[in-house]
């Protein structure tokens, strides 16, 4: 299989619902795609501007200051205190890394790539591009022989599922029994909301309570798109097993996968400042606290969603019927079927619309029973 064999981009199917929602007298409220709308913090924009004299090729491995900032961030924010700069690597956003990881690991026909049952579709796309077999399975006991790469997503997109230390540790044990690389997509880790995640930090796959003292075959993937509003910068990184990081670095050098030098400088500044991250989380909290009860008042049940950037909602009907009902209110959601065959009755609602538009959506939802 090649990239030419991929299906049409799924979001094209949402266009009719967008057009329907846009006809609402008070306008469209777009909660479909989790693209940040809030300003990039001034200190990060200033850092980018300071680094625009970028006449030389950037370093694929990352500048020393960026790599040190990533190491320090993992220690300060994720409880991972034993990384070195050999354990980290910047990437051009996290989606390219997710899509290319099977390629960069040399996987191919006959190999199995495991991903969550309810999942961001790029895990499957990356497997199919190299001719590997994608398999949706959440329970480590169901991960089969022949699995070469296992993706977990915590907190999950779209459902907010968040793995505990104990669950992560069990996943590590099983992946090592299989000899598989275990990659944890942790891009929403700063956004814990309910239950234990209201007061405890979301754990990383690299947490020493998880690893058993060894990072072998473990990777953590992270993005600054959501916590720092840097989606347009394509600013992300991975950390973990030094051997794999070294192999990925070599491959990325050959392929020219170099984050731009100004972006690397801005990333280092962003990683050193926790204040703007806390302020952004409070914006998401305000929107979530308005939207969730409004959805429930309109007849939706919110499943999971204890962390992350989305509300995973069901009205107990076909997802496309829910999409239509919401569109009649001028609200555009993301259809559950985009996230796997197990999501046919759910819709995903993002917290990335401007606050006044989320409040408007909440007002509309509270005025009807779907």
- Which ranges of the chain would DSSP assign to H, the alpha helix? 15-22, 42-50, 64-78, 94-104, 122-129, 165-178, 208-211, 242-255, 261-271, 275-297, 319-328, 355-366
Exposed (0-12), middle (13-18) or buried (19+): which is 138, by Cβ within 10 Å?
Answer: buried
Rounded Cα distance, 131 and 59, in Å? 31
Q: What is the pLDDT of residues 33-71, one digit of tens each?
A: 989 999 999 999 999 999 999 999 999 999 999 999 999
Q: Write down the pLDDT at residue 12.
A: 81
Whether the CA torsion 313, 317, 321, 327 is positive or negative: it is negative
CATH code reported for the domain at 11-39+276-366? 3.90.1150.10
The whole model's pTM is what?
A: 0.94
Q: Tell me the pLDDT tens digit for each residue of 87-108.
A: 999 999 999 999 999 999 999 9
Asked if CATH classification 3.30.1280.10 holds for the domain at 53-272, the reply, yes or no, is no
Q: What is the pLDDT of residues 161-219, one digit of tens each?
A: 999 999 999 999 999 999 999 999 999 999 999 999 999 999 999 999 999 999 999 99
Distance of CA 158 to the CA centre of its chain: 9
Q: Report the pLDDT value the prediction gives residue 221, as an integer from 0 to 100.
A: 98
For CATH 3.40.640.10, the residue range(s) in the chain are 53-272
- Residue 317 is given by DSSP the state S
* CATH 3.90.1150.10 boundaries in the chain: 11-39+276-366
Residue 5 pLDDT greater than 60, yes or no: no
* 8 A C-beta contact, residue 248 and residue 238: yes
- Tokens in use for 266? 């801005």
126 has a pLDDT exceeding 80: yes
Give the residue from 39, 36, 16, 38 showing the smallest Cα distance to 332.
16
């Amino acid at each position: 299989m090649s990239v030419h064999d991929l299906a049409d981009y799924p979001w094209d199917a949402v266009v009719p619902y967008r057009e329907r929602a846009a006809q609402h007298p008070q306008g469209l409220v777009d909660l479909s795609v989790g693209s940040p709308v809030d300003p990039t913090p001034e200190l990060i924009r200033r850092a980018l501007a300071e680094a625009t004299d970028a006449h030389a090729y950037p370093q694929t491995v990352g500048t020393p200051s960026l790599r040190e900032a990533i190491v320090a961030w993992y220690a300060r924010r994720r409880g991972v205190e034993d990384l070195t700069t050999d354990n980290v690597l910047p990437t051009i956003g996290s989606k390219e890394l997710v899509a290319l990881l099977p390629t960069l690991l040399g996987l191919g026909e006959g190999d199995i790539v495991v991903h969550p049952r309810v999942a961001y579709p790029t895990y499957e796309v990356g497997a199919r591009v190299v001719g590997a077999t994608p398999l949706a399975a959440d329970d480590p006991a169901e991960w089969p022989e022949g699995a070469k790469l296992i993706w977990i997503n915590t907190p999950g997109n779209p459902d907010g599922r968040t793995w505990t230390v104990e669950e992560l540790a069990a996943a590590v044990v099983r992946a090592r029994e299989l000899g598989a690389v275990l990659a944890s997509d942790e891009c929403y880790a700063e956004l814990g909301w309910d239950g234990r995640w209201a007061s405890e930090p979301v754990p990383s796959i690299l947490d020493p309570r998880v690893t058993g003292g060894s990072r072998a075959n473990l990777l953590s993937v992270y993005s600054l798109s959501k916590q720092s509003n840097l989606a347009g910068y394509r600013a992300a990184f991975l950390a973990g097993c030094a051997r794999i990081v070294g192999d990925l670095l070599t491959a990325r050098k050959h392929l020219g996968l170099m984050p731009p030098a100004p972006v690397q400088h801005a990333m280092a500044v962003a990683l050193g400042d926790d204040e703007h991250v806390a302020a952004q989380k409070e914006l998401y909290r305000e929107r979530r606290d308005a939207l969730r009860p409004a959805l429930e008042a309109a007849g939706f049940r919110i499943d999971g969603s204890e962390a992350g950037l989305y509300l995973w909602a069901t009205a107990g009907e076909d997802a496309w019927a829910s999409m239509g009902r919401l569109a009649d209110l001028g609200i555009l959601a993301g259809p559950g079927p985009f996230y796997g065959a197990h999501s046919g009755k759910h819709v995903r609602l993002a917290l990335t619309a401007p606050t006044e538009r989320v409040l408007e959506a909440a007002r509309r939802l509270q005025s009807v029973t779907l």
